[in-house]
Amino acid sequence: MSKVRETVLEIDLGALEANYRYLRSRIAADTKFLAVVKAYAYGSSSQQVALKLQELGADYFAVAYTKEGMALRAAGITKPILVLHPLPVHFEEIIDNCLEPALYNHKVLGEFAEVATQKNTKDYPVHIKFNTGLNRLGFDQEGAEALAEVILGQSAIKVRSVFSHLAASEDLAEEAFTLQQIDTFELAARQMTKALGYTPMRHMLNTSGILNYAKRAQYEMVRSGIGLYGFGNELQYDLDLQPVVSLKSVISQIHHVPEGQSVGYNRKYQAHAPVKTATIPLGHADGISRIYGNKKGFLTIKGKRAPIIGNVCMDMLMVDITGIDCEEGDEVLVFGKETTAATLAAAAGTISYELITAISQRVKRVIVD
């Protein structure tokens, strides 16, 4: 691997492949696999990651917003793309780019059917989202039959799938709640199928759902995001997966700060003893939030932990390297395979999802295969 000389986010497509194969091994061979590549494929690079997953055989893709789906089409993704949270202002673009909307209430259903009718579509594939307890997006199960009647009156659209999303699939203390969500979803799916007179696909499980409930609720398809990128929301599951992204940087400058001085904005770090510090070209504008400052977070230099001292600046941060044998120009690891994003995120009280998706587009992406 070439020497790191600036801040880079390395994307390991070999690790992505291993994770994909591992997750597939946890479900039946004929269950479809939907790869969630929203938010730049969880902060990596949606184009390269989606193309690799398409080559590996992913059946479906999902993004949050229409623009993300358009970018995938432009990049050469030909598999179906589900848009999880489409907004009516983008419905024409959805159809023009062969994207498939999740419809979650009567307002968007009506507006989408209207646009589809204007564009003279027949049986345009849509996905019906049920709210079974997350209380974020979705129709209620109670209205499933009436909903099916409304859809039957719109020949421009046809239901490709019905789906729902678990609120706590990673938390086995909430198993009873999860099983209740599953029951509610199954009832809604049965009612829809009966009233529609045809059988849409069903899907409910995200990564932790696959890991914890594959036997109970994998249905015809599962949806995985974080697992593809190497995290299973539990240390035990993380061990079967490989982090795909590694954030690396370099030491720009070393200071020997005498006792009594301070480091960084607002003098938040006070040197009560002489301290050796390193300044790193990475700041909150790159996605390392101020929550990692003041020793909550740390970098790894020559295998040793260097705590982030003082406030994280916009373009830089400073770490304490006292006792670490390193020089200006040396590589530093922010997160990757040894110190994982899950570990660093946990140190600041957040989760891998937030840390990896926050890495800003200013950081150079480097593909490693």
Q: Which two tokens stand for residue 251?
A: 């030491």
Which one, 82 or 313, has the nearer CB to ligand PLP?
82
Q: Which residue(s) pair with 101 in the sheet?
A: 83
Candidate segments 118-126, 205-213, 317-325, 354-362, binder of ligand PLP by CB under 6 A = 205-213
- The rounded distance, in Å, linking the Cα atoms of 290 and 139 is 38
Asked if 38 is an active-site residue, the reply is yes
Candidate segments 5-13, 175-183, 219-227, 269-277, binder of ligand PLP by CB under 6 A = 219-227
Question: What is the closest distance, in whole angstroms, from the C-beta atom of residue 229 to ligand PLP in the complex?
Answer: 8
* DSSP of 258-272: PTT-EESGGG-EE-S
One symbol per residue from 29 to 48: x for binding ligand PLP (CB under 6 A), - otherwise; what is it?
Answer: -------x------------
Q: Which two tokens stand for residue 1?
A: 């691997």
Candidate segments 17-25, 113-121, 204-212, 258-266, binder of ligand PLP by CB under 6 A = 204-212
Selecting among 22, 65, 79, 265, the annotated active-site residue is: 265
- Residue 352 binds ligand PLP, judged by CB under 6 A: no
Which one, 178 or 208, has the nearer CB to ligand PLP?
208
Which one, 127 or 248, has the nearer CB to ligand PLP?
127
155-174 binders of ligand PLP (CB under 6 A): 165
Asked if 237 is an active-site residue, the reply is no
One symbol per residue from 227 to 246: x for binding ligand PLP (CB under 6 A), - otherwise; what is it?
Answer: x-------------------
Candidate segments 106-114, 200-208, 304-312, 317-325, binder of ligand PLP by CB under 6 A = 200-208
In 78-174, which ranges are continuous DSSP H helix? 91-96, 106-118, 144-152
What distance lies between CA 124 and its chain's CA centroid? 27
- Residue 24 binds ligand PLP, judged by CB under 6 A: no
- The rounded distance, in Å, linking the Cα atoms of 37 and 68 is 9
- Residue 206 binds ligand PLP, judged by CB under 6 A: yes
Selecting among 32, 38, 52, 248, the annotated active-site residue is: 38
73-132 binders of ligand PLP (CB under 6 A): 84
Candidate segments 202-210, 258-266, 313-321, 343-351, binder of ligand PLP by CB under 6 A = 202-210
Q: How far is CA 331 from CA 8, 97, 295, 360, in A?
A: 11, 43, 20, 20
Which one, 182 or 299, has the nearer CB to ligand PLP?
182
Cα angle 289, 292, 294; round to 5:
125
The kind and range of the H/E element at 28 are none
Which one, 9 or 205, has the nearer CB to ligand PLP?
205
In the chain, which ranges are continuous DSSP H helix? 13-25, 38-43, 46-56, 66-74, 91-96, 106-118, 144-152, 175-196, 207-217, 235-238, 341-347, 352-357
Which one, 206 or 246, has the nearer CB to ligand PLP?
206
Which one, 154 or 340, has the nearer CB to ligand PLP?
340
Residue 367 and residue 16 in contact, taking contact as beta carbons nearer than 8 Å: no
- The rounded distance, in Å, linking the Cα atoms of 270 and 311 is 12
- The rounded distance, in Å, linking the Cα atoms of 361 and 349 is 24
Kindly list the catalytic residues: 38, 265
**Sites of contact with ligand PLP (CB under 6 A):** 36, 84, 165, 206-208, 223-227
